[in-house]
Structure 1
Amino acid sequence: MANPPTLVIGVHLVLLEEDRVLLGLRRNTDYADGLWHLPAGHMEAGEAVTRSMTREAEEELGISVAESDLTLAHTLHHFDPDDGHSRLQLFFRTARYGGRISNREPHKCDRLRWWPLDGLPADTVPYTAHALAEIGRGSSLSVLHRP
């Protein structure tokens, strides 16, 4: 292949409590400030995707999640026209975690809040709302070619 695509890999934690999902209000970041988003981050060089997710859970929420407790709930191929990158967004669920959820990055997250899955705020990151709807439908894969 002459020009293989370069993919950015995002990891997202879908924490559910009854019919509610945990979202954080983004601030002071380079993307989607003022919008609600799942606890998330990017895979770092040399890191397994499951390790990326457990690292982000610890850094953002102060909870420990075993890699073996992660389940891939949805994969989203997302093309971002703003920066031209093709992104593979991986959405993980876990049945258990250790510790108490807290906002460990208040400089990037204004606050955390549990939202009903059928009542997400209008100002949710669009691809996040898309993926949560797909997860609710039981879809394991989707493609989205807009922000």
Structure 2
Amino acid sequence: MGERPLVLVAAVALIDVDGRVLIAQRPAGKSMAGLWEFPGGKVDAGETPEQALVRELHEELGIETATSCLAPIAFASHGYETFHLLMPVFACRKWLGTPQSREGQALRWVMPMELSRYPMPPADVPLVGLLRDLL
């Protein structure tokens, strides 16, 4: 089997005062379009996963948070056909602003017990039970 590049992506479970988690639907034209995922994105060269999430949350959702507001809770490691994904996952309960779609993605606040009703990329699926038990 050929070597696949390792892709580092950070994701966050934004948790509101009612205990709901924000998920976003991948827009048409992107790989895995239509699937639901936790907000986040690729970690750029020179960035920590926490710094990447602060940047991504601003770019994707228009909200501000600090690296100190991100608590590591899990990670996903998944081999896709052309790359291997490593994804640290953080919880965040403190941010400024109201999350709004800035990249055409649908957003939904979901109770942890309901997450399994939403089709997700393979790397995200193991996180659903973990979040349900954690939250």
Q: Is the 8 A contact 2:77 2:123 kept in 1?
A: no
Deviations 1:71-119 (A, max 9, x none): 1111112111x21x2221111112210112111111xx1x111112111
1:96 alignment partner in structure 2: 94
Query: TM-score, normalising length from structure 2?
Result: 0.85
Query: Residue 5 of structure 1: CA displacement?
Result: 7.7
1:127 alignment partner in structure 2: 123
Q: Is the 8 A contact 1:8 1:42 kept in 2?
A: yes
Over the matched positions of the two proteins, sequence identity in percent amounts to 28
Q: Which runs of 5+ in 2 are unaligned?
A: none
2:55 alignment partner in structure 1: 55
Deviations 1:53-72 (A, max 9, x none): 10011011100110111111
Q: Is the 8 A contact 1:24 1:113 kept in 2?
A: yes
- Secondary structure of the 1:34 match is coil
Which protein has the bigger strand share? Answer: 1
Query: TM-score, normalising length from structure 1?
Result: 0.79
Query: Residue 133 of structure 1: CA displacement?
Result: 1.3
Which protein has the bigger helix share? Answer: 2
AA at the equivalent of 2:87: Q
Please give the residue correspondences for 1:54-93 in structure 2 after superposition, counting only pairs within 5 Å. 54-80=54-80, 82-83=81-82, 85-93=83-91
AA at the equivalent of 2:12: L
- Secondary structure of the 1:119 match is helix
Q: Which runs of 5+ in 1 are unaligned?
A: 139-147
**Count of aligned pairs between the two proteins:** 130
Q: Distance in 1 between matches of 2:5 and 2:37?
A: 24
2:112 aligned to which of 110, 117, 120: 117
- Secondary structure of the 1:75 match is strand
Q: Distance in 2 between matches of 1:116 and 1:125?
A: 19
Q: Is the 8 A contact 1:74 1:135 kept in 2?
A: no
